[in-house]
Amino acid sequence: MAKLKPQTQTRRVLTYARPYWRTLSLATLCLLLSSGISLSLPWLLCDPVNIMLAQKSIPDLNIFMALIVLFFIQTLLSFAHNYLSGAVGQRVLADLRVGLFSHLQSLSLHFFLRRRTGELLSRLTNDLAEVQTLATELPVNIVRQAVILVGGVSIILVMNWRLSFLAFFLIPVIIFFARFMGRRLKALSTAVQDHLAQTTTLMEEMISGIRSIKSFGRETYEKERFSQQTGKTLAIMLKRLKISAAFGPLMVFLGFSTACGLMWYGAREVFLGKLSPGELIAFIMYAVIITGPVGSFARLFSKLQEGLGASRRVFELLDTVPKISDQRDAKILPALLGAVEFDRVCFHYIEGQAVLREVSFKIAPGEKVALVGPSGAGKSTLIHLLHRFYDPVSGGIFIDGQALQGLQLKSYYDQIAYVPQEVVLFGGTLRENILYGKLQASEAELISASKAAYAHEFIMAFPEGYETLVGEKGLTLSGGQRHRIAIARAFLKNPRMLILDEATAYLDNESERFIQAALDNLMKDKTTFMIAHRLTTIQKVDRILVFNQGRLAEEGNHEQLMAQQGLYHHLYTLKQADPLAPPQSV
Ligand code: ATP
């Protein structure tokens, strides 16, 4: 992807704030007024200070009390501005987060295979937070500092230009230090973000891989890996901390030194009668006020860089085009009959490593087809292609005579159902999990689907029945139970074509019997493709496609293939000898 120019990027980030322009305008108005008050304060203090120094009348000093009112108004304005711009920031962040979530879902499997989950999560959290700063806090802050800088400089020039030039000579020293440290800070901040993303990735891998870690007893190894990463992150964070901790104090030191220099020269001007004592104090206050924006411009600049870096990563994600999407003239698939044809389909994940080679077959509506073959033969890949998770590299797939690539995906997915090998239940109730198959299904439909899937009985045995919570915060179901929930989901959907990946995990006889009966119910009159791992299933299907190294090696029903005494016969005999642990799926 071509890199976006910083200006284009900033403009793009700002488009997210556009819907909230009214609130932002109000926030900016409050900001301008409160900055105006800040600027007027030294000026307003001039006379009271002169009065105090001349020890004139005491009632004149009441002006100090009037200043409290002004301070109070400024406090209210600052509050309003902080709250309003902060609220817009949070809204922009929420919009971006939802946008990114929904875009991620639309991307093809290709994309997810190349990325690590932790890295994606880091973009959804850390990077988005930085973009939020870029979209709202930064513009407002830059305006505030610019107003104070321009206003302050104009006022002191009018007050005493000679003294002003001395100030302009001293201030660049501050600018130099601020920019130098700002740049260092920016480089280190980027490194910190990268290290944090890697730390998140490791955490995520630990959580998702906890079973393997435990069963291999690799806790110490993983802890070591994590400590090393954390150590690296810590080292770079401490480096950044050193610079950021020195930044503020150094700026204050330079500010005070400038003030002393100005006092030294300004007092002469007072002796010569060119400046009143009150004006000198006001002048010094302005010089300090001007130093603030100069220091923070460098910091804002580094924040801007951080925000732009993060926004580049976020936009990279948003600009990733799904490899698989509807063609412009995609046709809506009418009621699916279930005829499937593969015509010389070739496929690879990695160039030069063919996974499917010239695979051709024709399946009639309603046929039950089992895919078998040694591990790595390409069965799952064929199922992916049938799902159009990927497109073939060459050759064509036809559904009821129409090219799959030319069909509107939703109209196709609405009519097929997939029961995976490893069923994932989403956090929520059992009811919600089954309704995933048809969101608006009635209670009667829900129960009838669960009964047909042999799930109703075990669900009702839970005290909470269909309202039982599953997933992270709830109950963990057994593999067999999860499978039956997935079958109930598929029943609700009432598809015309089924894709099944039989569980390889060993299920007890009872569980297996239930699942088999549920699947028999589900498959009735539907074209069914399944990766079969059980002998009982395989003997019942109409046709068996035997794959070997990406080629369709044999084709026929059980009896025909056994009579051929080929690969199928070999796999079947092996499996019969040891039904539990063969490396091939028959
Ligand atoms: P099993 O019975 O073990 O599940 P299978 O017959 O389903 O095997 P596939 O999963 O389709 O086989 O894999 C076929 C080949 O493609 C294998 O050599 C595998 O290493 C390769 N492969 C699968 N997925 C990917 C991927 N995402 N990237 C690269 N290669 C892949």
Q: For the segment 198-256, what is each residue's pLDDT rounded down to a tens digit?
A: 898 889 888 888 888 888 888 899 999 999 999 999 999 999 999 989 988 888 888 78
Q: What is the DSSP string of 490-525?
A: HHHH--SEEEEE---S---HHHHHHHHHHHHHHHTT
pLDDT of residue 585: 52
Interval between CA 550 and ligand 1 midpoint (Å): 10
Interval between CA 342 and ligand 1 midpoint (Å): 19
Interval between CA 372 and ligand 1 midpoint (Å): 13
CA neighbor of 23 nearest in space, from 92, 104, 73, 71: 92
Q: Kind of pairing, strands 354-363 and 340-348?
A: antiparallel
CA neighbor of 313 nearest in space, from 115, 181, 139: 115
For the cut 80, the answer to whether the pLDDT of residue 402 exceeds it is: yes
Residue 350 Cα: closest atom of ligand 1:
29
pLDDT of residue 49: 77
Interval between CA 389 and ligand 1 midpoint (Å): 14
Residue 383 Cα: closest atom of ligand 1:
11
pLDDT of residue 506: 56
In percent, the amount of the chain with pLDDT more than 70 equals 93
Residue 373 Cα: closest atom of ligand 1:
6
pLDDT of residue 512: 76
Confidence of residue 60 (pLDDT cuts 50, 70, 90): low
How many Å separate Cα 72 from the centre of its chain? 42
How many Å separate Cα 461 from the centre of its chain? 39
Confidence of residue 302 (pLDDT cuts 50, 70, 90): confident
For the cut 90, the answer to whether the pLDDT of residue 170 exceeds it is: no
Q: What is the DSSP string of 98-150?
A: HHHHHHHHHS-HHHHHHS-HHHHHHIIIIIHHHHHIIIIIHHHHHHHHHHHHH
Q: DSSP secondary-structure letter at 420?
A: -
The per-type count for the chain, helices as H runs and strands as E runs, is: 21, 12
CA neighbor of 354 nearest in space, from 376, 374, 324: 376
Query: H/E element holding 306?
Result: helix 277-318
| Most confident of the ranges 126-140, 304-318, 344-358, 463-477 | 344-358
Lowest mean pLDDT among 203-212, 343-352, 467-476: 467-476
For the cut 90, the answer to whether the pLDDT of residue 385 exceeds it is: yes
Listed in sequence order, the residues at least 6 apart from 246 whose beta carbon sits closer than 8 Å to its beta carbon are 181
Amino acid at 292: G
Mean local confidence (pLDDT), 558-567 = 90
Interval between CA 194 and ligand 1 midpoint (Å): 32
Confidence of residue 539 (pLDDT cuts 50, 70, 90): confident
Confidence of residue 583 (pLDDT cuts 50, 70, 90): very low
Confidence of residue 533 (pLDDT cuts 50, 70, 90): confident
Q: Max Cα separation, the chain? A: 121
Handedness of CA 443, 448, 453, 455 (dihedral sign): positive
Contact call for residues 434 and 468 (beta carbons, < 8 A)? no
Amino acid at 210: I
0.75 cut: is pTM over it? no
Amino acid at 556: G
pLDDT tens, residue by residue, 45-55: 887 777 777 76
For the cut 80, the answer to whether the pLDDT of residue 38 exceeds it is: yes
Best residue for ligand 1 mutational test, from 109, 353, 380 (most atoms within 8 Å of Cβ): 380
Best residue for ligand 1 mutational test, from 110, 113, 381 (most atoms within 8 Å of Cβ): 381
pLDDT of residue 56: 64
Does residue 535 or residue 582 have the better pLDDT? 535
Pocket of ligand 1 (CB under 6 A): 113, 349-350, 355, 373, 375-381, 585
Interval between CA 355 and ligand 1 midpoint (Å): 7
Mean local confidence (pLDDT), 172-198 = 84
| Most confident of the ranges 61-70, 324-333, 545-554 | 545-554
pLDDT of residue 14: 76
Interval between CA 237 and ligand 1 midpoint (Å): 41
Does residue 520 or residue 476 have the better pLDDT? 520
CA distances (Å), origin 50, targets 47, 174, 266, 287, 415: 5, 31, 15, 19, 87
pLDDT of residue 223: 93
Best residue for ligand 1 mutational test, from 347, 355, 501, 530 (most atoms within 8 Å of Cβ): 355
User: Which residue's CA is minimally distant from atom 19 of ligand 1?
Assistant: 376
Mean pLDDT for all residues in the chain = 84
Does residue 325 or residue 362 have the better pLDDT? 362
pLDDT tens, residue by residue, 114-125: 777 777 888 778
pLDDT of residue 408: 92
pLDDT of residue 581: 45
User: Which residue's CA is minimally distant from atom 20 of ligand 1?
Assistant: 376
For the cut 50, the answer to whether the pLDDT of residue 2 exceeds it is: no
Interval between CA 382 and ligand 1 midpoint (Å): 10
Best residue for ligand 1 mutational test, from 323, 347, 349, 499 (most atoms within 8 Å of Cβ): 349
In percent, the amount of the chain with pLDDT more than 90 equals 25
For the cut 80, the answer to whether the pLDDT of residue 375 exceeds it is: yes
pLDDT tens, residue by residue, 69-105: 888 998 999 899 889 988 888 888 888 888 888 888 8
pLDDT of residue 546: 93
Residue 584 Cα: closest atom of ligand 1:
2
